[in-house]
Amino acid sequence: MIIFPEIKNHELLSQKVYRIIKRDIIQGKLVSDTRLYEEKIAEQMNISRTPVREALRLLSAEGFVKLIPNIGIVVNQISPQDLLDVLNVRLQLEIYAVTLAAQKVTEKDIENLKIIIRQMEESLAAKDAITFSNLNLKYHKSIIKISDNKKLIEICDNLHQQSEHWIKALGVQERLEESLQEHINIYNSLKARDADKVKQIMYIHISNLIKNVFKED
């Protein structure tokens, strides 16, 4: 049974509860169909039920939990269709993000991306898929941050968390070498400030991820 930590700082309680529960779902501590009891969570965190209720409402809106009539709030079951929907939305939004990034990227941004690629190469050589996956997420978030669109950053952050969790839960193996080369190609196009080229490469990159996840030919 998951024991939630007590919350002592009462600033923005609902956001803290939201963050803790969301983290536990993403890390697999709370598995699909686990029932979440508002009263128990509030008691363990030493807070009222109101911020817990608000946190669960936010998690429901993002698809991490759902309300089942006559049962209550449960951790959302992983669905291949859900994952496909998320990845298709990511495809469109990240193409837009990388287009903006090509117009706004600085030399410092280029250097930061180069460092991440170097770390990805090291993790690939070490056959460290977990570190590679974490760096992959860091790379994508870095590009979206370069776009300098706050709402886009916020939406993509949520989509990344959902898709990373679901891909892991479905047991999909990363196609590391091919993925690394695609990241290098994205980097080279951003360095050249070639918006048209980088859009094409990002499309190929996420399309290949979708094919790999669903084992399409």
Q: Domain ends where: 75, 101, 121?
A: 75
- In whole angstroms, give the CA distance from residue 34 to residue 136: 29
Same domain, 130 and 191: yes
Residue 6 counted as domain residue? no
pLDDT of residue 169: 54
Alpha-carbon distances, residue 177 vs 31, 125, 183 (angstroms): 30, 10, 10
Residue 110 counted as domain residue? yes
pLDDT of residue 167: 67
Residue 8 counted as domain residue? no
Residue 124 counted as domain residue? yes
Same domain, 138 and 191: yes
Other Cβ atoms closer than 10 A to 152: 17
Identity (one letter) of the amino acid at 82? D
CA dihedral (84, 89, 90, 95) positive or negative: positive
Same domain, 115 and 38: no
Q: Domain ends where: 58, 75, 92?
A: 75
Residue 1 counted as domain residue? no
Same domain, 171 and 86: yes
Residue 7 counted as domain residue? no
Q: Domain ends where: 25, 41, 75?
A: 75
pLDDT of residue 10: 47
Same domain, 148 and 208: yes
Same domain, 54 and 102: no
Spatial CA neighbour of 156 closest among 106, 217, 98: 98
Q: Domain residues for 64?
A: 13-75
> For the chain, what is the domain count?
2
Same domain, 94 and 145: yes
Same domain, 118 and 183: yes
Same domain, 84 and 180: yes
Residue 4 counted as domain residue? no
Residue 123 counted as domain residue? yes
pLDDT of residue 162: 79
Predicted confidence pLDDT, tens digits, the chain (217 residues): 677 766 655 447 888 898 899 888 877 788 888 999 999 999 999 999 999 999 999 899 878 899 999 899 999 877 778 888 999 999 999 999 999 999 999 999 999 999 999 999 999 898 887 788 889 999 999 999 999 999 999 999 989 887 876 666 554 545 788 999 999 999 999 999 999 999 999 999 999 988 887 764 4
- In whole angstroms, give the CA distance from residue 14 to residue 22: 12
Alpha-carbon distances, residue 126 vs 119, 129, 167 (angstroms): 11, 9, 22
Same domain, 188 and 138: yes
100: which 2 tokens? 């903006």
Same domain, 86 and 66: no
